Amino acid sequence: MQLRVAIGNWLQRRMPGLLCLAMFALVAVPAFALDKLNLQLKYLHQFQFAGYYAALEKGYYREHGLDVSIVEGISGDEPLKNVLAGQSQFGVGSSSLLLERHAGKPVVVLGVVFQHSPYVLLVPRTGSTQTIHDIMGKPVMLSAQSEELTAYLKKEGISLSNLTMLKHSFNPDDLISGKTYGFSAYATNETDVLDKAGFAYQAYTPRSAGIDFYGDNLFTSEQQIKEHPARVKAFREASMRGWHYAMRHQEEIAELILAKYSQRNSREHLLYEAKKMTDLVQPELVEMGYMNPGRWMHIAEVYADLGMLPKNSQMQGFLYDPDPRPDFLWLYRALAAISFLIIVAWLIHMKRLSQERKLAQANIKASEERYRRLFSESTIAQVVYDIDNLKILAVNARYLQLLGYAENEVIGCPVDFPFDVNHREEMRSRLHQVVQDGIDNPEATYRGRWHYQHRDGHHIEVEGTSRRLEYANHRARIASLEDVTERERIKQELEKYKSHLEEMVLSRTTELIAAKHMAEAANRAKSVFLANMSHELRTPLNAILGFTQLMKRDNIAPENQKNLATINRAGQHLLSLINDVLEISRIEAGRTLLQSAPFDLGEILSSVEEMIRVKADDKGLKFITEHAGNLPAFVEGDGPHLKQVLINLLGNAVKYTERGQLALSVSRRNGEINFEVSDTGPGISEQDHARIFQPFYQTQSGIAKGEGTGLGLAISQEYTKMMKGRLAVKSQLGQGSTFTLSLPLPETEAPAAQSAARSIIGLEVDQEEMRVLIVDDKEDNRELVMQLLAPTGFALRTANDGQQAIDCFIAWQPQLIWMDMRMPVLDGYQATQQIRALPGGDKVKIVALTASAFEEERQKIIESGCDDMVRKPLEEASLFLVMGDLLNLRYRYAEVEQAAVTPAQTNLARALDFSTLPSSQIAALKAAAEALDLAKIRQQVAMLKETHPALAAEMDELVQGFRFEQIAALCDKSQTQIKQEEGES
């Protein structure tokens, strides 16, 4: 559409230029540019078509680039036929074209030349009274296209059926001859013939009855207009211009017709025709080609009256518009389409709007319904109240249920009516505050606690949330009230429980603390008990074992020697039992302290092996020892505890193995020392592997043995753990056992040389006499120490308790005090502290004597001011050693005793072989040794000197060391060997 408008505009602007260009082209090169076309006349050449000849002759067609041929007609129907067939582009027609158009022929009238139809109905003139009605019943010739005459007759009330219709001959003679009465003719033509013939005729024109048809017109086809609009316009314009010229130059055109077209008619006739035409064409009054649609309407009505056209038939497209206004049809159509679309869209939009409105209304309704339901079915109580008068507007079911009212009892009531009486004033003032805040700040939501009262009087606590709301034209608030009464009650209950629980916890804690104190007290009591027991048991043992040691020095009768040995053995066993029991208690109480110091691994192994070898030998068991070459000489660790564990394991191996062998293999791997103790004993079942490490557990074979306490392995295990090592057993019943002890014992430097425990016989002569005070409440103990020290040349005094000790110290100023720690009146701790506070008290050496088995006692003792501590039962050697260290003493050692502690001596027992001795001598030696009969032993040894001097010398060493047990064991072993040998032989 935009393109068409643009082209239209462009043409409008350029048209004059284009026309000039066209004109120039026509004049310059006419032969090449002329548009050939035909004009079909409806009859033979005559003045009736003068305008077209003039246009051609005057070059009007040519001016428009048209090369026009004017074609004669004969029957009158050629123009319609040829124009519609396309043979002629233009034709000369009559008003009957209207009928053709209505019949569907696409003819368009370009312009009317004859403003009035030339048709007349000629009848012979008969007199002045004659009327048209005289025609009734007479023969009449009516030409095909003279409908206006038919109409005229009809209008005059003359039906064609009342006439005798003859075929038209177009020969006026037929009228003259009376062949026909009526004769349709052109007023411009046939009348001339009649006039010339002197025939009187009467011409009836339809105009007399008001029927005024157009005469000749120029027409074309719709197709022609559509395809060649410029040609049509040009042809019409040139033709009408020709008509204009012809009507003004009638003679010239008559000459032209005669000269160029036809001489059928005389010049005179042509001019006659021209003259008659002037009335019909009216060239001076009407513009050539002019046609009035009203006239055409009139013609159509006449046709309609004749039944030839329907009433009010349309004239659309029939009349040519030489200057059509720009064709806005497309625009109108487009506008119409747009309008239509707009209307449709608008309708759709309106429909949609209406649907949306309906939907929105439905939604609003649904939403309102939803809110209404939410409100009414909410499990939270809700109330809507007017903020201007504080009256309730609406409540939901839950609200009514919460407060116990019916709806009609609350609607319209003040919103504060159910406030709890006890909080009413406070609640009311808060309500007013909330309402006021809501007015100032409508978006705000208020949250708070409210106290309500149920209808039955019980108190309700609610948590409320309220906000502004427009409700049915009221300024309102909606409050949601959540019942928290129960929650509060539970909370308070919980608070109560909490505080109660705290109380309970407190009292329980107090109880527990008390229980703990009691337990601690009990523990302390146990410790005290154990300490007491230890003291009580060790003190008499001290005396028993001490005095047996002393007695061994004397010459005692042989039977008493034996008894003494038994006492000594029993005492030693008792001591070890006490030690074991105390040790396990001590471990359980966590009191066993580990000591870490460098020690000689080889020495410990030797001493253990020596001890075990004797026992193994006693039982006739082979004892294999194996030391890896990479063992360190000195290691850092707890030597005494290691020794104890090894003695335990090896002791068990000996104890439970009846025949075969036991072995100790020591190796070093991954920084650990591994001690493997294996035997060929009864073995231990799998299920007992763990149990044997529990205190007091013994296997069947253990119980059957009737020895031991079941504590050894438990203690060993604990020691091992303390030493960060591992102790494990591998054994099967009947397959022997292997215990493996792995300990991290790092290699270390050799410790400072320690003086070997040698037998002391006195102080070296050049030393000043030492004053030694012995403090003990037990006379036995005082006596024991007295007797041990007396021979060595100390000045000795005794005290029975702490107080006496202080007194003695003040009076006598001893250099060293042996202080028993448990004493009546004033114990050793207090006495020591007080002595230390006295003049010279800082110099005196005080050594605690204690029967306590607990190592931690040492700490307490040292803290109380003692320099050192020696445990009971007293060992002679440690007694001297401690004194020697503290007082820098030099002792005199007995020669033999010195030999007794040499390393050679440790291996002595092993090297001795009695098998070559007579069995009687062995039996005698054994009896003497068991009876601790020194004299008898010496006697036997003396006897040996002659027969077995080497053996006698070695035996001497054992005797000097009072190693009676070993002597007895060696004798035992030899006897067994002899028996075996005898059996074998």
Contacts with ligand ADP by CB under 6 A lie at: 648, 652-653, 656, 679, 681-682, 684, 692, 698-699, 701-702, 708-714, 737
Residue 804 CB, shortest distance to ligand ADP, in Å, is 43
Nearer to ligand ADP by C-beta: 572 or 813?
572
Nearer to ligand ADP by C-beta: 623 or 964?
623
Residue 702 CB, shortest distance to ligand ADP, in Å, is 2
CA distances from 122 to 146, 179, 182, 187, 379 (A): 13, 13, 6, 9, 112
CB count within 10 Å of CB 512 equals 12
**DSSP secondary structure string, 30-76?**
HHHH-EEEEEE-SSSSSGGGHHHHHHHHTTHHHHTTEEEEEE--SSS
On whether the CB atoms of residues 90 and 61 are closer than 8 A, the answer is no
Q: Which amino acid is at 943?
A: M
CB count within 10 Å of CB 188 equals 25
Nearer to ligand ADP by C-beta: 660 or 751?
660
Residue 257 in tokens: 């017709």
Nearer to ligand ADP by C-beta: 375 or 656?
656
d(CA 221, CA 105): 9
Nearer to ligand ADP by C-beta: 509 or 576?
576
SS3 877: helix
Residue 777 in tokens: 């409440």
CA distances from 353 to 356, 366, 367, 458 (A): 5, 19, 20, 56
SS3 446: strand
Nearer to ligand ADP by C-beta: 386 or 679?
679
Residue 546 CB, shortest distance to ligand ADP, in Å, is 27
Nearer to ligand ADP by C-beta: 198 or 706?
706
Could you tell me which residues come within 8 angstroms of residue 173 by beta carbon, excluding any fewer than 6 positions away?
Answer: 179
SS3 809: helix
Residue 737 CB, shortest distance to ligand ADP, in Å, is 4
Nearer to ligand ADP by C-beta: 217 or 652?
652
Residue 701 CB, shortest distance to ligand ADP, in Å, is 5
CB count within 10 Å of CB 790 equals 12
Residue 610 CB, shortest distance to ligand ADP, in Å, is 20
Residue 470 in tokens: 């427009």
SS3 622: strand
Residue 646 CB, shortest distance to ligand ADP, in Å, is 12
Residue 638 CB, shortest distance to ligand ADP, in Å, is 19
DSSP symbol at 179 = S
Residue 703 CB, shortest distance to ligand ADP, in Å, is 7
Q: 847, 846, 828, 712: which is closest to 778 by C-alpha?
A: 828
In the numeric block, the tokens 């005698």 are attached to: 924
Nearer to ligand ADP by C-beta: 710 or 865?
710
Alpha-carbon dihedral sign for residues 706, 710, 711, 715: positive
Nearer to ligand ADP by C-beta: 652 or 905?
652
Nearer to ligand ADP by C-beta: 396 or 738?
738
On whether the CB atoms of residues 139 and 164 are closer than 8 A, the answer is yes
Residue 713 CB, shortest distance to ligand ADP, in Å, is 3
Nearer to ligand ADP by C-beta: 585 or 864?
585
d(CA 234, CA 61): 8
SS3 226: helix
Nearer to ligand ADP by C-beta: 702 or 865?
702
Residue 526 CB, shortest distance to ligand ADP, in Å, is 22
Q: Tell me, letter by letter, the H, E, C secondary structure of 270-339.
A: HHHHHHHHHHHHCCCCCCCECCCHHHHHHHHHHHHHCCCCCCCCCCCCCECCCCCCCCCHHHHHHHHHHH
Residue 715 CB, shortest distance to ligand ADP, in Å, is 8
Residue 613 CB, shortest distance to ligand ADP, in Å, is 17
> Cα Rg for the chain, rounded, in angstroms?
81
